[in-house]
Structures are given as C-alpha cells and as structure tokens.
Chains A and B, each alone.
Chain A
Amino acid sequence: MFRSPRPVSMLGRAPRPLLLGALAVAGLAVLPLAYLVIRALEADPGSLDLVLRPRTAVVAASTVGLALLVGAGTIALGVPLAWLTTRSDLPGRRAWAVLTVVPLAIPSYVTGFAFLATFGPRGALQGLLAPLGVERIPSFGGLFGATLVLVLVSYPDVVLATRAALARTDPAVEDAARLLGDRRSVVFRRITLPILAPAIAAGALLAVLYALSDFGAVSLLQFDSFSRAIYVQYRASFDRSLAAILSLMLVGMTFAVAWGESRVRSRASAFAGTARTSRRPPSTVPLGRWTWPAFAFCVAVVGLALVVPAGTIGWWLIRGIGQGEPVRVVVDAALNSFLAGGGAALTAVMLALPVALLVARYPSPVASFLETAAFTGYALPGIVIALAVVFLSTSAVPVLYQTLVLLVFAYAVRFMPQAIGTVRAAAVSVGPRVEEAGRTLGDGPVRAFVRLTLPLLRPALVAGGALVFLTTVKELPMALLLGPIGFDTLATEIWDAAAEGFYARAAGPAALLLVLSAATVAVLLRNEETTR
C-alpha cells in the first residue's frame, strides 16, 4: 500500500512538440560523446599501440589511486562532521553545520592555487621562513597534494548526503534497537551506520566522480591523472585520436561511478521509505570528554578547507594591490565569465524545460530514457566534453570553432542536468491540474501553459539557471580549450597565473570566485532546508 503502483506509460498522451523537443535535447546531450566514439574508432592502428604502452597503465593506475584515496578521505572527514553537526552537542553546532559545507563550492584549482601559494616553492610559507635562512621547502604536489586538495573540496558531498540520510531516519529506530538490548555504541554499529551506508557511499562516489573529472587541481599540482594526460596529449600531439582514446577510457570510469552512485542512491531512498509522520526530534548526544577533540577536528578541517584558501587569497590580494596589479584584468575576466555563464544558464534552462516537463507530466520508459540521455553531461569530465566539441566543430561546423556559441553549447551539455533536476521537481509539484483549469476557462494549450504553468515554474527556472550560472563561472577546462582567442575568464586567469607562479595576479579573480562560491552554498543550503 505504500508502494506506488507500476507507472502506466503516459507517452501516448504527450504533445508531439514536447516529445520532439525532449528528443532533440537528448540528442544534443549525447552528441559530443557519440562523436568522441566515432573519432576514437578512426584512430589509425598504430596509435593503439600507444594506448597499450606502460605509460598509459601508469596514468590509469594513478587515476584510480587518486579516486580511491579521495573517496576514502571524504568518508573519513564527511561522516564524523555530518554526525557532529546534527546529532551531538558540539559547541557552535549550527555555525559548524554551515562552515563545513562552504568548501564544496570552491573550485579545486582555487584551493590548489592557495596551497601552492602557501606551501609551494615560492609560496607564503617560504617567504616567511626566508629571513631564517630557509631557501627551499619541499614541493607541494603530486599524489599527496592532489588528494589533499580534492578531499578538501569534495568532502562536503559526503557531509550533505549523510546529513540528509540522518534527517530522514526516524530516531525511533535507534530507540528500538536500544530497547532490544544494545548499548548506544553497538546501536551505532549495527543500526545507524548500515542505514547511512548507501547515502555515505553515494556522497563518496560523487566525490570520486569529481576527482576523476577534475582538471584544475591535478594540472596545477602536476599529478598525471587522465585529465592532465588528455590535456597534455591534446596540446602536444598532432594525432589527437590518442587523446580521444584516453578520453573514452576516462569516460568508462566516470560512467561506472555515476551508475554506481545512482544505484546506491535509490537504495538509500528505499531505506528512508519506511518512516513517516509524527516523529520526535532526535535526542542530542552529549560528547563529554570528546567535546574538545571533536571541536579541534572541526577547526582543523574548516581551517584547511576554508581558512587556508581564503587567508592565502587575501594575503596575496593585499600584496598584489601593493604591487599595483591591474584591476582591469579582473574586471574583463569577470565580464567574460558572466557572459559565458549567463549564456550557459539561459541555454541550459531552455533545454531542460522540455525534458523536465515530459518526465514530470508523461512518465514512461521512453521519457526516462531521454532524461538519462540528457544527463550524459553529468558523467562527462569537462576536459572530455571540451575535446569532443573541438573535434565536432572542426570537422562539422568549422565556422563555430573558437566562438562563444560553442563554449556555451558545451557548458549547456555539461551542466544541463542541474537545471533538469530543479525544474522537474517543480513541474511534479505544480502538476497538470492548474493548466487543465485554464483550459476549461477558455485557454488553448499553449496559452494555458504560458499563462499558468510557466509563471508557477519561474522560481525553479531561476534557481536552476542560477545554479548553472554559478557552476559555469567557476569552470576551467572547457573555458581553456573552447574559449575564443583572447577570451580570458576568471578561471583561466587564475590557472594561468598560478601555473606560472604569479600568485598575486591570481588572487584578484580568486577572491571574486570565493564570493561566488559562498553564493552557491547559500543556494545549496536552502535546498537542504526545504527538503527537510
């Protein structure tokens, strides 16, 4: 009685234009990947030997190793933080609940840059130690550096997923286990952790997906994972088929992770399905003598993930202003970023609308399939999409190569899933009744949609667009590969300057991105509030 009946296919009732629109969007979304496959198949057999050389195996092993370490690290930080900020009497719990999530929105290359600029060869630390005669400090980077930075920007995924699962779980379940004879610590092991496990796994897999896709941190810290190898191959070689083949290997990994993530996520929601109304709020667990160690743990994590980046950027910003770094550069880059981001947001929302409406209004296997296709970009690393779009445009539409149109298209493919998620949820809650009422009052189907449904969806469209905008502004590899000549964005400015050690120059755009990141987190946390 609590399971919804098997969905009846509503596809036959879907208006033809809506169906065609969704079909076109799904086609656009898979186009880059499809072309990448074609391109890789065209590779001459000789380059296949290149793929099989030991070097490729090393890159693959490095990538997998990085992904595993990041997954483990995010669990180690995320699960305790989620529990501490929801169930314990940690001093300042509410503030920590926000602070521990903020690093989520900081781009990896900003945190990477901050660590380089602090602990790197010509960083702030060395500068401070120089009067003491310290000429060199160990370089920051490689597997350790990349892991640290990626864990620090993605552990909030685990915090958010775990917190959501904790909030969904009826506290009476833990009470029941105690009444059946288990101590609190045993209950945590036998009940709480197993119930949270799928959510924790989903959060960690999200972090792993991020690590696999990441270009900014690994390239700045010179760690050879697939992303960096693809970029180097693309820049250095005439035979770009090899880059295409490497890309496909990476895509194989990201798709596997994304598939695993969706599997565990559905398991997590099945677990949450049993509890319903009339819950008591969970009781707060006193930390006792663990209070201050727990507090120190929070200080350490937030210190590394938030204070180090913000502090470093602030420090170099002040130095940069002292040295007379031109403000114009920042303003130009910001305008370019906003232009690309605005275009991407608008495009993504328009593309998302038919898919979201089809899935919400006319659920059917075909609709789900089209939605899955439209979500392709979710599992495609930016560097891969960029590469595919380069291939696509040079051979099919050379006119568009190195134009803003192409960049905006690539962004829309990559980030459209965010907009679909938001709009679909709203479309489900608005429902078809309002529009039907409009029809009975004399409106045609289009007019009823425009007069009634569209205004009701507006908040979701704006929210989805805002999310795409904020994500796009921070995006690096696509801007790097697809941006028109001389089109520098905040992201590329930071990356260029940081890669060459001009930390002061990178500080201006980085500071601006930090502010935008805070805005992103505000949006995300509001979502967390409303889902409770």
Chain B
Amino acid sequence: MSTPAVRLHGLTRRYGSVAAVDELDLEVLPGEMLTVLGPSGCGKTTMLRLIAGLETPDAGVVEIGGRRVAGSGVAVPPERRRVGMVFQDFALFPHLSVHDNVGYGLRRDPDREVRVGELLELIDLADAAGRMPHQLSGGMQQRVALARALAPRPDVVLLDEPFSNLDAALRTQLRADVREILRAAGTAAIFVTHDQDEALTLGDRMAVMVGGRIVQVAPPEVVYGEPASPFVATFVGIANLVPADRRGGRAATRLGVVRVVGPPDARTDGRALAVIRPEHFDVIEAPDGPADTGSWRVLRRRFAGTEILYEVTDSHDQRLWVEAGAGVRRLRVGDSVHLSLRDVETVAFPSGHHADVATTLPAEAPARS
C-alpha cells in the first residue's frame, strides 16, 4: 500500500486542562477526499491547524507524504510543510489581485505564469485575473482561495468549513465545483465541516469526530448504514435507537425483527439497541376511531426537502421518527398510523455499550441542512 498523504498518530493538543485534540489517529490516502464531520468545538479546526503547523501538538506525530513534520523533537514550520489550506473566511490577500493571490506561493517557480494560468482556467476565473479580492463575489473568492492553495502542488489541501459563510444555493454549486477541481488536481484533501450533507456527499471517506477524537472513519454510506456507536448513529442522519433482544444475526424489537450486520458471537447476544432509520418503516394509515393498542399518533411533521418525516408516539410515550412513502397521503398532527418494520439489515449495540445514551430514542432528531 502506498504511503499515506497524511498520517496522524496519538495527536494531542490541550488548552489548559481541556484536550481539544485527544490522542487522535487518522490516515488520509493519496488523492483521497476525506471529510471530517463533527459538532462545533469538537476540535476539527485545531486538528487542521496542527497538520498545517499553525499549532504545536502537546503529544503525538504528524506525517505528511511519509515525512515526519511534528512530534518526537521534529517541528517543521508551516512554510516548509507542503500543505495547502483554504480558510473559513478565505483569507485572500486584500492588497493583491486574483492573479497575484494565486501566484503567491510560486515565487521561486520559473513556470509561475504558466501554472497561474492553468489554475485560473481550472477555477474558471481567467477573465478576473486583474480584479482585487473585494471586487469578487463570495463564490469567486472561494475558488481563488482554493486555486491559491493548490498552486504550489501541496501534498494535501486542508479545507476548514469553506462554505459556512456562503448562502445555501451557492454552497450546493460550489460543492460540486470544489469536488471537480480537487479531482482534477488529484491532491489529497481533508475537508472539515459540521454540515452532514456536505460530509456525506463530498467525501470518498468520512470521519466522525467528537470530543477531540475520531470515532469512525469509513465511506459515507458505511457510516450511515453501519454506524460505529449510538452517537454516530444519531449524529449522522436520523436514527431511532430501539431496545432489542439479540440472538445471533437477528434482533427482535417490539416493532419487529431486523437482521444485524456483522459476525454474531455469544458476547453480542442479549439486550441491545437496534438502529432503525425512518426509512426502515412502512407507514400505514389507521382507520379513524379510538386508538387501538398497536397504533401510533403523529406528533409533528418535518419536511426535509424530498421526503416528509413524522414524529410519532404510542400510548407508552415512546417516540419514533418515521418516513412515509409516496403512497401515503399527507398525514396531519393527531392522525393515527400503524407501523411495520421492513426486512432490513442494520446494526445493534449491546445495551450499556455507551453510557452517555440515556434515552433509547432521540428527543430531537438532528437537523439536516
């Protein structure tokens, strides 16, 4: 296997008694786009700054392109790390034109003009070469920042929530642009975000970070389908954590039986929490009249762009998020429904796997933006 573009091992950075980055391990492959998803304050930005050399780790190792740049006595300054970075506010040089911004890191490059021309073509801003940063729209500034970071052919590009200050429509467009540009450049990239749509759609792999640690790294569909912990399950997408009784490859819940991913063994048998996604249900309208024992009442609805999610409750005040298929008419708050669990494959965690999950069901489903 080839040398990773970036390798972090045991990386730790403390502010006072708080560890912003806590014994973190991570590898990024050459040419790979890795997204890092985590809530605000989980240490994502600090991790990027440690890789870039803008912060010094208290412990651990940073390797870039197989070369050690931080840790065990080594401290390569940022200017010699061959790392490109796109900052949240773009941080364009306000006194330099687009052309000079892009060419800034190519001071000693004899082919400077050629390279700048290439990049301006790549970001489709060749016409704006002479403009100043404050004359550009937010989306253009974003692309200039990316071209500037790519110009010196870095081993890795770090993107620190690069779309957070742009409006929603522009964000979707730029997401595609950035992915395209990075593909074309073939550079490895670490893309930090707190937006799960961005993390899911943009990454070849995605890492979920919480409390200064990476809790799961996998392709986005694996993180969604086989979350490593109840936290990941509820943080990425919407998940119902339903008490279950696991026997081998199956888990029985009061809603039905699901197949469980992963090799069964004796230790996994017993009480568990099964991850049931809203789309794992078939929703059937119940006839009007007094609620029968198996029926659920609609508490509220949320339109999530393409599908409608409903929060439903039963007589025991259990709550679930469910997704109604196209065949179901629009339900109103207070309507009764019956639920049936499809034959799905999902994950189940032994109960008590994570002590921090106090309730079995999420009180508030994380918003999809």
Q: What is the interface of chain A, defined by CB distance below 8 A to chain B?
A: 1-3, 170, 172-173, 175-183, 190-191, 194-195, 197, 270-280, 283
Residues on the A chain within 8 Å of B94, using CB: 173, 195, 270-275
Residues on the B chain within 8 Å of A175, using CB: 52, 54, 78, 85, 87, 91
| 19 further contact pairs, Cβ within 8 A, besides A170-B89, A173-B94 | A3-B134, A170-B91, A172-B87, A173-B91, A175-B85, A176-B148, A178-B53, A179-B83, A179-B84, A179-B149, A180-B105, A180-B148, A195-B95, A274-B92, A274-B141, A276-B165, A277-B165, A278-B164, A278-B165
In the assembled complex, the Cα of A405 lies from the Cα of B88 at a distance in Å of 57
Residues on the B chain within 8 Å of A273, using CB: 94, 134
Top-3 shortest CB links A-B: A180-B105, A172-B91, A271-B94
B137 at interface by CB-CB < 8 Å? yes
How many whole Å from B268's CB to the nearest CB in chain A?
43
Q: 1/0 per residue B58-86: CB within 8 Å of A?
A: 00000000000000000001111101110
B93 at interface by CB-CB < 8 Å? yes
Q: Is the CB of B134 within 8 A of A179?
A: no
Residues on the B chain within 8 Å of A1, using CB: 137-138
B316 at interface by CB-CB < 8 Å? no
Question: Can you list 13 A-B contacts with CB-CB less than 8 angstroms, sorted by A residue number?
Answer: A2-B134, A170-B87, A179-B84, A179-B149, A180-B148, A180-B149, A180-B151, A191-B93, A195-B93, A270-B132, A273-B134, A275-B94, A278-B164
In the assembled complex, the Cα of A177 lies from the Cα of B100 at a distance in Å of 12
B90 at interface by CB-CB < 8 Å? yes
Residues on the B chain within 8 Å of A277, using CB: 89, 165
Q: Is the CB of B105 within 8 A of A181?
A: yes
Residues on the B chain within 8 Å of A275, using CB: 89, 91, 94
How many whole Å from B341's CB to the nearest CB in chain A?
43
Residues on the A chain within 8 Å of B104, using CB: 177, 180, 190
How many whole Å from B329's CB to the nearest CB in chain A?
41
Residues on the B chain within 8 Å of A279, using CB: 89
How many whole Å from B305's CB to the nearest CB in chain A?
24
Residues on the B chain within 8 Å of A178, using CB: 53-54, 77-79
Nearest residue, chain A, Cβ from B170:
A1
In the assembled complex, the Cα of A279 lies from the Cα of B88 at a distance in Å of 8
In the assembled complex, the Cα of A197 lies from the Cα of B53 at a distance in Å of 28
B38 at interface by CB-CB < 8 Å? no
Residues on the A chain within 8 Å of B93, using CB: 173, 176-177, 191, 195
Secondary structure type dominating chain B contacts? loop
B243 at interface by CB-CB < 8 Å? no
B43 at interface by CB-CB < 8 Å? no
Q: Known A270-B94, A271-B134; judge A179-B85 contact (CB<8 A).
A: yes
In the assembled complex, the Cα of A520 lies from the Cα of B149 at a distance in Å of 46
Q: 1/0 per residue B150-169: CB within 8 Å of A?
A: 01100000000000110000
Q: Quick one: which of B78, B105, B134, B138 has the most chain A CB within 10 A?
A: B78
Nearest residue, chain A, Cβ from B151:
A180
Partner of A278, one of B54, B83, B89, B134: B89
Q: Known A170-B91, A172-B87, A173-B91; judge A274-B133 contact (CB<8 A).
A: yes
Q: Is the CB of A194 within 8 A of B95?
A: yes
Residues on the B chain within 8 Å of A280, using CB: 45
Count CB-based A-B contacts (< 8 Å).
101
Q: Is the CB of A276 within 8 A of B87?
A: no
Q: Is the CB of A176 within 8 A of B87?
A: yes
Residues on the A chain within 8 Å of B330, using CB: none
Q: Is the CB of B88 within 8 A of A278?
A: yes
B107 at interface by CB-CB < 8 Å? yes
Q: Is the CB of A2 within 8 A of B85?
A: no
In the assembled complex, the Cα of A279 lies from the Cα of B53 at a distance in Å of 18
Q: Quick one: which of A176, A276, A283 has the most chain B CB within 10 A?
A: A176
Q: Quick one: which of B89, B132, B137 has the most chain A CB within 10 A?
A: B89
Residues on the A chain within 8 Å of B79, using CB: 178-183
Residues on the A chain within 8 Å of B88, using CB: 172, 278
Q: Quick one: which of A1, A2, A179, A283 has the most chain B CB within 10 A?
A: A179
How many whole Å from A270's CB to the nearest CB in chain B?
5
How many whole Å from A353's CB to the nearest CB in chain B?
33
Q: Is the CB of B85 within 8 A of A271?
A: no
In the assembled complex, the Cα of A280 lies from the Cα of B88 at a distance in Å of 10
Nearest residue, chain A, Cβ from B92:
A274
In the assembled complex, the Cα of A93 lies from the Cα of B138 at a distance in Å of 36
How many whole Å from B169's CB to the nearest CB in chain A?
11
Residues on the B chain within 8 Å of A183, using CB: 77, 79
Q: Known A175-B78, A180-B148; judge A274-B90 contact (CB<8 A).
A: yes
In the assembled complex, the Cα of A272 lies from the Cα of B132 at a distance in Å of 12
Nearest residue, chain B, Cβ from A168:
B94
Q: Is the CB of B89 within 8 A of A172?
A: yes
How many whole Å from A169's CB to the nearest CB in chain B?
8
Residues on the B chain within 8 Å of A276, using CB: 89, 165
In the assembled complex, the Cα of A279 lies from the Cα of B45 at a distance in Å of 12
Q: Quick one: which of B85, B94, B133 has the most chain A CB within 10 A?
A: B94
Nearest residue, chain A, Cβ from B80:
A181
How many whole Å from A198's CB to the nearest CB in chain B?
9
Residues on the B chain within 8 Å of A179, using CB: 52-54, 78-79, 81, 83-85, 105, 149
How many whole Å from A117's CB to the nearest CB in chain B?
45
How many whole Å from A262's CB to the nearest CB in chain B?
18
Which residues of B325-354 are within 8 A (CB) of A? none
In the assembled complex, the Cα of A195 lies from the Cα of B92 at a distance in Å of 11
Residues on the A chain within 8 Å of B132, using CB: 270
In the assembled complex, the Cα of A195 lies from the Cα of B95 at a distance in Å of 6
How many whole Å from A393's CB to the nearest CB in chain B?
48
Residues on the B chain within 8 Å of A170, using CB: 87, 89, 91
How many whole Å from A194's CB to the nearest CB in chain B?
4
Nearest residue, chain B, Cβ from A275:
B89
Q: Is the CB of B141 within 8 A of A176?
A: no
Nearest residue, chain B, Cβ from A174:
B91
Q: Known A176-B87, A183-B77; judge A274-B95 contact (CB<8 A).
A: no
Q: Is the CB of A2 within 8 A of B137?
A: yes
In the assembled complex, the Cα of A180 lies from the Cα of B151 at a distance in Å of 9
In the assembled complex, the Cα of A415 lies from the Cα of B128 at a distance in Å of 44
In the assembled complex, the Cα of A277 lies from the Cα of B90 at a distance in Å of 11
In the assembled complex, the Cα of A191 lies from the Cα of B54 at a distance in Å of 17
How many whole Å from B228's CB to the nearest CB in chain A?
29
Q: Quick one: which of A173, A195, A273 has the most chain B CB within 10 A?
A: A173
In the assembled complex, the Cα of A277 lies from the Cα of B87 at a distance in Å of 12
Q: Is the CB of B152 within 8 A of A181?
A: yes
How many whole Å from A137's CB to the nearest CB in chain B?
48
Nearest residue, chain A, Cβ from B167:
A1
Q: Quick one: which of A1, A276, A277 has the most chain B CB within 10 A?
A: A1
Nearest residue, chain A, Cβ from B140:
A1
In the assembled complex, the Cα of A198 lies from the Cα of B123 at a distance in Å of 30
Q: Is the CB of B78 within 8 A of A270?
A: no
Nearest residue, chain A, Cβ from B105:
A180
In the assembled complex, the Cα of A279 lies from the Cα of B132 at a distance in Å of 22
How many whole Å from B78's CB to the nearest CB in chain A?
4
In the assembled complex, the Cα of A183 lies from the Cα of B81 at a distance in Å of 12
